[in-house]
């Protein structure tokens, strides 16, 4: 079925839907990972976006129930060069097309995705519409233009959990206290994870590292969190413009200095705002699994998984209070920072990978060490 | 850390002659390394015995020794040059093995030479089977159950314990030499004996067979600060059991989820750390159980390998260059990515296309050898193709193979429809060079993918894609070329014009015309390491059928060089050397060079060799498409061997400006009738000969000329199908061979000159003046293919009168043919009479040898001559005479092919060559032998057995041996 992809600047591509009829409007972004499409699709940070994969052959290994990063598919539409309909992998349970259809997400193939990527690289992320329903080019472009876009919008509300939950046996367990988390871990560290669009692998890893994790809705206030007496607070990734997120910055500001904090991606940006800094939108962002980041504290280079369109403005930060810890080798952008006085640190990228390299798992160890040393200080 | 300043002079060891499993990829890596180190101001000393390499060009290293790569010779070079360091990881297994010997014999300690990149214990840990296994277990990785044994008895016991089938892998050999799969005790005995014999340490591993598991490779790089990156993942289409060099391979991996891929990545990183490769590239091979994903480590190469060359060409990341810089202390985050200029080498390339490599076999050269693929490598070359889909890349690779195929079937060449089902199934079950044809036939017959998978163990993902190609083939057959959208889809599935013509019953020309009329034209996309995330500056392109074209024509004067495609016997690195020199020469005179080639192992496909690189099949269609875009001022076809030469006439007919010797002159030299008239005009003699098409003609001509005669098809290189026959029976046998009689090209019959001396001459001509580059006298008598003969420069027995006659004849022929560029002539001398055997108005296999021996860069000069310069302008007015002896010796792959007769004849069988140079002819010869791996005994007993006719001739040799106390 013919599908048109229209960008707000009038650029049009013609492809074929591999998931049947549909229409989606969103921000056009691209991801350069060669594997991990299922993790990308289930990453809540892609909410509101239309994702184009640069790797041309997608669907090869199907979809399985273990590689879910949340309980849903978040992008509005998924664009590839060639959809491979018959998967081959021992873990495959379902075809990608079926998976997308189940979640009502449009999949389109058969067009020059590289040309689209080059276009976005040149002009920046654009508002776009993908449709099998409306094939009138002018109408599509006008509708893409007319869409409000993501700037200043609080997208976290759309993806954060309604009710708190814990994590046990490799799955979410509903509940409101630490007792719902894995039993028999009396020595474990208690972490409250503020869910701005959390990826399950963050929970899997923290649990593996001996943490009991309690996930709470993003709107949970500082007082509520502190009454849970956590050893640390984790700020997850999430979609959209950090400046549009309501309330979370204030919550974090109130927590700062009272409890160790580790932030990832949107969590990092929120920390930046809580420190008094500002954020801005990158031209087309970083999305992929090959971004080199240098840890300035060790000089070591790690290959990281990334997915962000906004970044913390390095110049807006108070250098007296905030130490730059990680930079992106490609463009010199801010990738990690730490508070000089308070136990708080964060990275712009995804140490929980899924998909992507496992080079940055040490950050979770740093979080654990930080919590332990704070406990020591208290005692 | 910036580069080290405590070392100044670095020794690089090359890989020696081209052999199976060690081909021109090490010239590519070595040349890159030499350039990279010189760029950083180091003094580079190089040793390599292979003259046909770019790395041994005098302008590359500071000092180049063309000497055998043996402990003794390298020690002498170290003694003389006193380098501070040795870089052993860029010259294949040869360099690594010599480096170990140098270290163990104390030479490195004695002269205080530091081993860079990987120390001896590291190499041993990676290459020693037992050490490696222990290391893997230490980091919690699985290796197949195995036993390391040093005796036959233990091997048999191990086989019984592990259970058959088992794999035998000798330690410290390359390309799996001596290894194989043993299905029973008898086979294990045979393999163990040969394996123990071939291993440097009399050690073999008897290993659990993982036949049918999926095979993967990762290319890893590490710097001295322990930063590690993965450059490329490769998935083998052929399952475990076929040597990776003989497998069809695909980059990146296609059937791994991110979880499985990252597990493999973690393992590769842990391995390079545990083994302790300090800096540079390594290659790790994995097996994955398709049923449950269980991961096993097969092996690790602590050096740049054939796969590294492939990974470099597949991603655009220059592994060898970066490896060399890391070896002298740079870190990945200090080195810029040449392609993007703004980002650094510390990243992992991501690609937005699919790469397919298909190995090139030459079983036809060894009819006695069994065409079965196993764990010992047998292919002599490879071709790579890039497409936006696997289907497109696969079909492009198939037509790049130079086996006369136009793609994956659909070209009328397969003819397997007569096969019984059991024959077809057996062809699928047993891996061979032809299995891909059986795959096509099975799919064409509608055999289920599940069934084919069961027989071949080829992952269903690949089979499904191949099935789609075949389904498309049927669709084209049924509905013809139905409109531009359908045609575009056909092209996106990789179908060539030739295939479309076959399927629709038209001609290639008609399809091309239709395609242009419908506006279905290829676009060219960049290989940029980053999937378009960053702007790129390196013009390295591949074609595909999509929307946006990224290649643009410049305003500069430009010349296109057509390369030689995959290496095979008869067409190897020598021709690539000439193409590279053409590019260098064009750069020297300010002309843009555009390289077209499909061989990932070569220097010609390095992105900084030419101004523009098109990684494309060398078929008329693909070449014309590039010409349509680039509209070059000239196209050079005379350097890339037979591949581009075969396109010359068609290109000229299409109005393409072929520069240098006109195609008609090439035809005049190739066409026997015209050649005869040509020689008669010049009053030159050739052995009595004639041209025939049928058996009857052949018999009558042979009778007329008188036996023995040489028979061969015309228009071939490397003496393909050439025979010396002594009777009518031989003629009958020859003419009965498939594809000989009834061909468009005739069969040539020549009088065979017995006991004649063969002479090879390379000359250069600017249309006016001819300069002889070198006269080489063969050591073997005429009748042995010139590529297989050893030869001496200058001639060691020819009289001055004959040499003068040879020069005059060469000049006369060059003038008559109007040669502009290079020309090669083969003469035979019998009883002081000179006969012309063959004239080739093109670059020959001996051009690099002559250039190295005389110091005259013939290929470069020829390029400039083709661009209109005269030899006088180029300063070449007199012939160079040399005061030393240079001997070329051929190197053969007989150890790879069991039961093959090692007798040489008119059909070329060697894969490579070496050169021995000395003031003394005997020593030059001895060095050449040594370099070719032949150790000459200094004492012992000689057994002489010759036929009656040769008894006279052997007398003098026997007498001399006796005098030397044999």
DSSP A61-105: T-B-STT-SSSS--SSEEE-SEE--S---TT--B-HHHHHHHTT-
pLDDT at position B497: 98
B contact test, residue of A32, A291, A294 with most B CBs within 10 A? A32
Q: How far apart are CA B508 and CA B407, in angstroms?
A: 14
Shortest Cα distance, chain B CAs vs residue A271, angstroms = 27
* Optimal mutation site among A60, A95, A304, interface B, most CBs of chain B within 10 A: A60
Mean pLDDT, residues B80-107 taken together: 95
Peptide bond into B753 cis (omega under 30): no
Cβ distance of A55 and B256 shorter than 8 Å: no
- Spatial CB neighbours of B938, under 8 Å, sequence gap ≥ 6: none
Asked if the Cβ–Cβ distance from A290 to B348 is below 8 Å, we say yes
CB hemisphere CA count around B15 (13 angstroms): 27
CA distances to A311, B19, B66, B381, B560 from B882, in Å: 68, 29, 16, 34, 34
Taking a C-beta distance cutoff of 8 angstroms, is the pair B911, B380 a contact? yes
Give dist(CA A45, CA A91) in Å, integer. 25
Tell me whether strands B558-562 and B634-636 are parallel, antiparallel or unpaired.
parallel
Which residues make Cβ contacts (< 8 Å) with residue A357, sequence separation at least 6? A289, A302, A303, A304, A305, B262, B265, B348
Chain B hits for A89, Cβ within 8 Å: 255-257, 260
β strands within B454-588, DSSP E: 523-526, 540-544, 558-562
Partner B contacted by A11 (CB < 8 A): no
**In the sheet that B689-692 helps form, which strands lie side by side, from edge to edge?**
B689-692, B747-751, B709-713, B723-725
Rounded to whole angstroms, how far apart are CA atoms A159 and A265? 15
A89 close contact with B: CB closer than 8 A: yes
Per-residue confidence (pLDDT) for residue B471, from 0 to 100: 98
Tokens of B686: 């050739």
Question: Under a CB-based contact definition with an 8 Å cutoff, are residues B386 and B395 in contact?
Answer: no
Q: What is the pLDDT of residues B44-77, one digit of tens each?
A: 999 999 999 999 999 999 999 999 999 999 999 9
| Among the partner residues B291, B459, B548, nearest to A118 by beta-carbon distance | B548
Residues β-bridged to residue B440: none
DSSP one-letter code for B950: G
**Residues B861-901: pLDDT tens digits?**
999 999 999 999 999 999 999 999 999 999 999 888 877 88
pLDDT per residue over B251-268, tens digit each? 999 999 999 999 999 999
Q: Do B347 and A330 touch (CB under 8 A)?
A: yes
| Mean pLDDT (whole number) for B91-103 | 94
Which 3 state secondary structure label does DSSP give B770?
strand
Two tokens at A259?
């409890």
Mutate to test the interface with A, among B216, B223, B253, B258 (most CBs of A within 10 A): B258
Residues of A in contact with B471 (CB under 8 A): none
Between β-strands B523-526 and B770-781, what pairing exists: parallel, antiparallel or unpaired? unpaired
- Nearest residue, CB atoms, A301 vs list B262, B346, B390: B346
Q: What is the pTM of this model?
A: 0.96
Q: How far is A258 from chain B (nearest CA, A)?
A: 36
Residue numbers in B near A303 (CB within 8 A): 229-230, 347-348
Exposed, middle or buried: residue B120 (CB in 10 Å: 0-12, 13-18, 19+)? middle
Joined tokens for residue B236:
């083998």
Comparing C-alpha atoms, which of B179, B569, B621, B609 is closest to residue B363? B569
Q: Which phi and psi angles does B885 have, rounded to 5°?
A: -110, 140
Angle at B865 between CA B863 and CA B866, to 5 degrees: 65
- Statement: residue A181 has pLDDT above 60: no
Only one residue has tokens 């032809």, namely: B434
Count of H helices and E strands in chain B?
31, 33
Does the pLDDT value for residue A182 go beyond 60? Answer: no
What distance in Å separates residue B296's CA from the closest CA in chain A? 16
pLDDT (mean) for A326-337: 95
For residue A90, the chain B residues in CB contact (below 8 A) are 290-293
Cβ distance B710 to B754 under 8 Å?
no
Give B549→chain A minimum CA distance, Å.
9
Q: State how far residue B325 is from chain A, nearest Cα, in angstroms.
A: 17
Q: What is the residue whose two structure tokens read 């075969």? A: B646
Q: Which residues contact A186 (CB under 8 A, 6 or more apart)?
A: none
Q: How many CB atoms lie within 10 A of CB B714?
A: 15
Least confident of B238-247, B307-316, B724-733: B724-733
B465 contact residues in A (CB cutoff 8 A): 84
Q: Does A176 touch chain B (CB under 8 A)?
A: no
**Interchain pair B347, A290: CB under 8 A:** yes
Mean pLDDT of B612-616: 98
pLDDT in tens, A33-67: 999 999 999 999 999 999 999 999 999 999 999 99
Q: How many helices (H) and strands (E) does chain A have?
A: 10, 20
pLDDT band at B742 (very low <50, low <70, confident <90, very high): low
Contact A34 B252 (CB under 8 A): yes
What is the reported pLDDT for A179? 57
Among B660, B860, B880, residue whose Cα is nearest residue B773: B880
In 3D, which of B805, B838, B821 has the Cα closest to residue B770?
A: B821
Mutation choice for B interface testing from A41, A51, A57, A64 by most B CBs within 10 A: A57
| Cβ count within 10 A of residue B767 | 18
* Residue B480 Cα, gap to closest chain A Cα (Å): 22
pLDDT of res. B887: 97
**pLDDT attached to residue B672:** 77
Query: Cα separation of B613 and B600, whole Å?
Result: 12
**With the CA atoms of A21, A26, A29 and A35 taken in that order, what torsion angle do they form, in degrees rounded to the nearest 10?**
-50
Q: Which of residues 291-320 of B touch A (CB under 8 A)?
A: 291-293
How many angstroms separate the Cα of B680 from the Cα of each of B423, B673, B677?
53, 11, 5
Q: Comparing C-alpha atoms, which of B862, B905, B946, B880 is closest to residue B721?
A: B905
pLDDT of the residue at B130? 83
* Band of pLDDT at residue B716, cut at 50, 70 and 90: low
- Distance CA(A96)–CA(B14), nearest Å, equals 49
pLDDT at A185: 55
pLDDT averaged over every residue in chain B: 93
Contact of B234 with B252, CB cutoff 8 Å: yes
Q: Please give the average per-residue pLDDT across B95-115, as a whole number.
A: 96
Contact state of A112 with B547 under an 8 Å Cβ cutoff: yes
In eight-state DSSP terms, residue B174 is S
Q: Does B212 touch chain A (CB under 8 A)?
A: no
Q: Which residues of chain A does B550 touch, with a Cβ-Cβ cutoff of 8 Å? A: 118
Best B352, B356, B543, B552 residue to mutate vs chain A (most A CBs within 10 Å): B352
Largest Cα–Cα separation, chain A: 69
Is the distance from CB of A229 to CB of A312 less than 8 angstroms?
A: no
CA–CA distance, A24 with B867 (Å, rounded to integer): 58
Nearest CA-CA partner of A109 in A62, A64, A33, A58: A58
Per-residue HEC secondary structure of B193-253 comes to: HHHHHHCCCCCEEEEECCCCCEEEEEEEEECCCCCEEEEEEEEECCCCCCCHHHCCEEECC
CB contact under 8 A, B343 and A113: no
Q: What percent of chain B has pLDDT over 90?
A: 81
Measured from the Cβ of residue A366, the count of other Cβ atoms closer than 10 Å reads 16
Please report the pLDDT score of residue B378 as a whole number: 93
- Cα–Cα distance for residue pair B220/B800, rounded to 1 Å: 58
Is B588 part of the contact surface with chain A (CB cutoff 8 Å)? no
CB-based contacts of B478, cutoff 8 Å, min separation 6: none
Distances (CA, A) of B59 to B18, B62, B887: 22, 7, 22
Scan residues 528-547 of B and list those with Cβ closer than 8 Å to A. 530-535, 546-547
- Give catalytic residue positions of A: 265, 350, 352
Residue B342 to chain A, least CA–CA distance (Å): 7
Contacts of residue B430, defined as CB under 8 A and 6 or more positions apart, other chains included, come to B372
Q: What band does A175 get if pLDDT is binned at 50, 70 and 90? A: confident
Residue of A nearest to B346 (CA): A292
- Give the CA-trace dihedral at B850, B74, B86, B104, to 10 degrees: 150
Count Cα atoms within 13 angstroms, Cβ side, for B893: 31
Please tell me the number of Cα atoms within 13 Å of B501 on its side-chain side: 15
E strands, chain A, are 2-7, 12-17, 23-31, 49-53, 57-58, 77-79, 82-83, 106-109, 126-131, 165-168, 171-174, 189-195, 211-217, 232-235, 261-264, 279-295, 301-312, 322-328, 334-339, 344-347
pLDDT the model gives residue B722: 83
Distance from CA of B855 to the nearest CA of A (A): 45
Cα-trace Rg, chain B: 27
Residues 317-376 of B with CB under 8 A from A: 331-333, 342-344, 346-354
pLDDT, residue B278, reads 92
d(CA B811, CA B562): 27
pLDDT band at B626 (very low <50, low <70, confident <90, very high): very high
Residue in A82, A91, A358 nearest the CB of B262: A358
């Amino acid at each position: 079925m013919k599908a048109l992809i229209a960008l707000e600047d009038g650029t049009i591509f013609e492809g074929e839907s591999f998931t049947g009829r549909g229409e989606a409007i969103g921000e056009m972004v691209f991801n350069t990972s060669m594997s991990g499409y299922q993790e990308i699709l289930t990453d809540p940070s892609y909410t509101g976006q239309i994702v184009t994969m640069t790797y041309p052959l997608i669907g090869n290994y199907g979809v399985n129930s273990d590689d879910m990063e949340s309980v849903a598919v978040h992008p509005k539409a998924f664009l590839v060069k060639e959809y491979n309909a018959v998967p081959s992998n021992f873990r495959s349970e379902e075809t990608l097309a079926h998976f997308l259809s189940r979640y009502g997400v449009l999949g389109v193939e058969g067009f020059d995705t590289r040309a689209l990527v080059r276009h976005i690289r040149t002009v920046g992320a654009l508002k776009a519409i993908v449709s099998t329903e409306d094939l009138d080019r002018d109408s599509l472009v006008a509708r893409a233009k007319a869409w409000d876009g993501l700037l200043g919008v609080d997208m976290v509300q759309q993806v954060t959990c309604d009710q708190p939950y814990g994590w046990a046996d490799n799955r979410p367990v509903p509940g409101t206290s630490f007792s719902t988390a894995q039993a028999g871990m009396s020595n474990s560290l208690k972490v409250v994870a503020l869910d701005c669009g959390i990826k399950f692998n963050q929970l899997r890893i923290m649990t593996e590292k001996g943490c009991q994790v309690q996930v709470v809705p993003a709107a949970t206030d500082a007082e509520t969190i502190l009454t849970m007496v956590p050893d640390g607070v984790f700020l997850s990734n999430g979609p959209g413009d950090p400046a549009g997120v309501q309330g979370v910055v204030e919550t974090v500001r109130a927590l700062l200095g009272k409890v160790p904090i580790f932030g990832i991606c949107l969590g990092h940006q929120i920390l930046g705002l809580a420190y008094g800094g500002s954020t801005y939108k990158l031209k087309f962002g970083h999305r992929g699994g090959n971004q080199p980041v240098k840890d300035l504290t060790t000089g070591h280079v790690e290959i990281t998984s990334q997915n962000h369109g906004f970044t913390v403005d390095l110049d807006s930060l108070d250098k007296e209070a905030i130490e730059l810890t990680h930079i992106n080798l490609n463009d010199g952008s801010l990738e990690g920072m730490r508070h000089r006085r308070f136990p708080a640190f964060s990275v712009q990228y995804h140490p929980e990978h899924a998909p992507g390299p496992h080079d940055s798992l040490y950050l979770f160890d740093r979080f654990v060490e930080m919590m332990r040393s704070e406990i020591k200080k208290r005692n | 850390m910036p580069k080290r300043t405590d070392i100044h002079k670095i020794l690089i060891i090359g890989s020696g002659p081209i052999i199976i499993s060690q081909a021109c990829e090490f010239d590519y890596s070595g040349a890159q390394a030499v350039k990279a180190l010189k760029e950083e101001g180091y003094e580079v000393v190089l040793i390599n015995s292979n003259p046909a390499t770019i790395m041994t060009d005098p302008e590359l290293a500071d000092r180049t020794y063309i000497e055998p790569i043996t402990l003794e010779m390298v020690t002498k070079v170290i003694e003389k040059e006193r380098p501070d360091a040795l870089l052993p990881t860029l010259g294949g297994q040869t360099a690594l093995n010599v480096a170990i010997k140098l270290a163990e014999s104390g030479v490195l300690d004695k002269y205080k030479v530091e081993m860079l990149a990987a120390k001896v214990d590291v190499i041993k840990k990676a290459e020693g089977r037992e050490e490696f296994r222990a290391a893997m277990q230490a980091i919690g990785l699985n290796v197949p159950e195995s036993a390391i044994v040093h005796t036959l008895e233990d091997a048999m016991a191990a086989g019984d314990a592990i259970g058959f089938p088992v794999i035998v892998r000798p330690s410290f050999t390359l390309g799996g030499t001596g290894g194989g799969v043993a299905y029973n005790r008898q086979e294990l005995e045979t393999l163990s004996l040969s394996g123990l014999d071939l291993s440097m340490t009399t050690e073999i591993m008897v290993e659990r067979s993982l036949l049918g598991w999926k095979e993967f490779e990762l290319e890893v790089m590490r710097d001295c600060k322990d930063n590690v990156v993965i450059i490329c993942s490769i998935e083998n289409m052929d399952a475990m059991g076929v040597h990776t060099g003989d497998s069809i391979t695909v980059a990146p991996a296609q059937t791994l989820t991110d979880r499985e891929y990252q597990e493999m990545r973690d393992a590769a990183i842990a391995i390079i750390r545990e083994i302790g490769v300090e800096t540079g590239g390594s290659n790790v091979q994995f097996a994955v159980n398709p049923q449950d994903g269980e991961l096993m480590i097969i092996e690790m190469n602590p050096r740049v390998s054939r796969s590294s060359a492939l990974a470099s060409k597949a991603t655009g990341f220059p592994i060898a260059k970066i490896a060399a810089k890391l070896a002298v202390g740079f870190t990945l985050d200090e080195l810029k990515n040449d392609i993007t200029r703004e980002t650094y080498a510390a990243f992992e390339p991501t690609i937005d296309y699919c790469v397919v490599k298909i190995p090139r076999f030459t079983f036809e050269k060894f009819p006695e050898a069994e065409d079965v693929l196993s764990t010992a490598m047998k292919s002599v070359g490879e071709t790579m193709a890039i497409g936006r889909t696997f289907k497109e890349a696969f079909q492009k690779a198939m037509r790049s193979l130079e086996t006369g195929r136009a793609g994956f079937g659909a070209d009328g060449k397969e003819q397997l429809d007569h096969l019984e089902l059991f024959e077809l199934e057996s062809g699928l079950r047993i891996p061979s060079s032809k299995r891909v044809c059986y795959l096509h036939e099975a799919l064409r017959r509608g055999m289920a993918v599940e069934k084919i998978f069961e027989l071949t163990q080829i992952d269903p993902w690949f089979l499904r894609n191949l099935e789609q190609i075949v389904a498309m083939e049927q669709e084209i057959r049924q509905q013809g070329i139905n409109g531009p959208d359908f045609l575009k889809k056909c092209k996106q599935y990789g179908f060539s014009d030739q295939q479309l013509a076959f399927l629709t019953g038209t001609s290639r020309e008609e399809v091309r015309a239709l395609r242009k009329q419908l506006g279905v034209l290829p676009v060219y996309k960049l290989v940029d390491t980053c999937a378009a995330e960053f702007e790129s500056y390196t013009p390295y392109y591949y074609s595909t059928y999509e929307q946006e074209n990224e290649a643009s024509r410049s305003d500069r004067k430009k010349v296109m060089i057509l390369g030689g495609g995959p290496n095979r016997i008869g067409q190897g690195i020598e021709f690539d050397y000439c193409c590279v020199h053409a590019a260098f020469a064009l750069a020297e005179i300010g002309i843009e060079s555009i390289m077209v080639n499909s061989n990932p192992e070569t220097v010609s496909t390095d992105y900084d060799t030419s101004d523009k690189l098109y990684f494309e099949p060398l078929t008329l269609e693909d070449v014309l498409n590039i010409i349509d875009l680039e509209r070059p001022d000239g196209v050079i076809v005379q350097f890339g061997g037979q591949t581009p030469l075969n396109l010359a006439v068609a290109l000229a007919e299409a109005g393409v400006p072929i520069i240098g010797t006109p195609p008609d002159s090439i035809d005049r030299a190739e066409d026997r009738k015209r050649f005869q008239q040509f020689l008669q005009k010049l009053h030159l003699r050739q052995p009595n000969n004639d041209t025939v098409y049928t058996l009857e003609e052949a018999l009558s001509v042979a009778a007329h000329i008188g036996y023995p005669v040489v028979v061969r098809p015309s228009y071939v290189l490397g003496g393909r199908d050439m025979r010396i026959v002594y009777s009518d029976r031989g003629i009958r046998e020859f003419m009965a061979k498939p594809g000989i009689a009834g061909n468009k090209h005739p069969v040539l019959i020549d009088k065979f000159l017995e006991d004649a001396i063969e002479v090879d001459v390379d000359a250069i001509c600017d249309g006016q003046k001819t300069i002889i580059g070198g006269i080489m006298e063969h050591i073997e008598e005429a009748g042995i293919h010139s590529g297989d003969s050893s030869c001496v420069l200058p001639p060691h027995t020819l009289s001055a009168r004959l040499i003068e006659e040879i020069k005059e004849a060469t000049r006369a022929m060059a003038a008559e043919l109007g040669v502009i560029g290079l020309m090669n002539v083969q003469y035979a001398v019998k009883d002081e009479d000179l006969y012309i055997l063959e004239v080739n108005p093109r670059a020959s296999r001996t051009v690099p040898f002559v250039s190295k021996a005389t110091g005259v860069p013939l290929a470069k000069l020829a390029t400039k001559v083709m661009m209109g310069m005269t030899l006088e302008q180029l300063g070449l007015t007199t012939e160079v005479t040399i005061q030393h002896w240079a001997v070329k010796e051929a190197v053969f792959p007989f150890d790879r092919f069991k039961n093959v007769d090692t007798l040489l004849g008119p059909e070329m069988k060697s894969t490579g060559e070496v050169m021995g140079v000395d003031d003394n002819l005997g020593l030059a010869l001895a060095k050449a032998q040594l370099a070719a791996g032949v150790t000459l005994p200094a004492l012992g007993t000689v057994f002489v057995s010759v036929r009656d006719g040769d008894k006279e001739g052997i007398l003098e040799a026997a007498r001399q041996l006796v005098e030397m106390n044999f």
